[in-house]
């Protein structure tokens, strides 16, 4: 499947660890538009880390903040926006993304995700007794929803330049 980006934002959605930020940055460079990471922006405006926000206010408050920050990031000149894994799952946020942006789901299987989140560990949702099982539960719950993105690109361990090329090939 192919889709036209036009003068729209390109919004990367998908589970934590799939490479939204590491692929999004070089992708934006190729497209000649700015890149922004929603989680980084949330941390900047709140002056707290995601982990601190979850601990201090809980997931619900975090979601409300995420929605506000993301809606603002989608206004104005087109960019590549990487979203936190839960952003597209929120119905109103999803509608907002879909109404004015091209959404790209970076999809991966459990082992690809697990290898990536294992290394750098700043994910409050995975602070459970069996984080791999938690990740699998999140996959099962969320994959049918990520499916609603305009495009799906399979994220594999092939290097981000190849992933960038695949996305470009699907949108240009
Ligand atoms: C979350 C994913 C995280 C971050 C928060 C919640 C989720 O972002 O927003 O920990 O609900 O999947 P990444 O997908 O960038 O890790």
Q: What is the ipTM of this complex?
A: 0.96
- Cβ neighbors of 85 (< 8 A, separation 6 or more) are 13, 14, 15, 16, 18, 125, 138, 142
Residue recorded with tokens 């889709």: 3
Q: What is the pLDDT along the chain (172 residues), one digit of tens a residue?
A: 788 999 999 999 999 989 999 999 999 999 999 999 999 999 999 999 999 999 999 999 999 999 999 999 999 899 999 999 999 999 999 999 999 999 999 999 999 999 888 766 678 999 999 999 999 999 999 999 999 999 999 998 899 999 999 999 999 7
Query: Is 159 exposed, middle or buried (CB count within 10 Å of its CB: 0-12, 13-18, 19+)?
Result: exposed
Contact present, 10 and 81 (Cβ < 8 Å): yes
Q: Which atom of ligand 1 is nearest to the CA of 86?
A: 11
The pLDDT score that the predictor gives to residue 120 is 61
Ligand 1 pocket residues where CB is under 6 Å = 16, 20, 39, 50, 84-86, 123-125
The answer to whether 150 is annotated as binding is no
Ligand 1 pocket: which of 85, 87, 122, 146 to mutate (most atoms <8 Å of CB)?
85
33 C-alpha to center of ligand 1: Å? 24
Q: What is the pLDDT of residue 130?
A: 93
pLDDT score of 66:
96
- pTM across the whole model: 0.95
Q: Is 142 annotated as a binding residue?
A: yes
The whole-number pLDDT of residue 76 equals 87
Give residues with Cβ within 8 angstroms of 156, minimum separation 6.
108, 112, 163
What is the set of domains in the chain, with CATH numbers?
9-171 (3.40.50.300)
């Amino acid at each position: 499947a192919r889709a036209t980006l036009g003068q729209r934002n390109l919004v990367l959605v998908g589970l934590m660890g799939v490479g939204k930020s590491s692929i999004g940055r070089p992708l934006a460079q190729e497209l000649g538009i700015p890149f922004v990471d929603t989680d980084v922006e949330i941390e900047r405006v709140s002056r707290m880390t995601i982990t601190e926000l979850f601990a201090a206010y809980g997931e619900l408050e975090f979601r409300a903040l995420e929605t506000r920050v993301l809606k603002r990031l989608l206004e104005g000149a087109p960019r590549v926006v990487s979203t936190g894994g839960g952003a597209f799952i929120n119905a109103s946020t999803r509608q907002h993304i879909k109404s004015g942006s091209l959404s790209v789901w970076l999809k991966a299987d459990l082992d690809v995700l697990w290898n990536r989140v294992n290394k750098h560990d700043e994910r409050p949702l995975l602070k459970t007794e069996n984080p791999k099982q938690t990740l699998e539960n999140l996959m099962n719950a969320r994959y049918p929803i990520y499916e609603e993105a305009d495009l799906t690109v399979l994220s594999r361990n092939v290097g981000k330049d190849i992933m960038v090329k695949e996305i470009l090939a699907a949108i240009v």
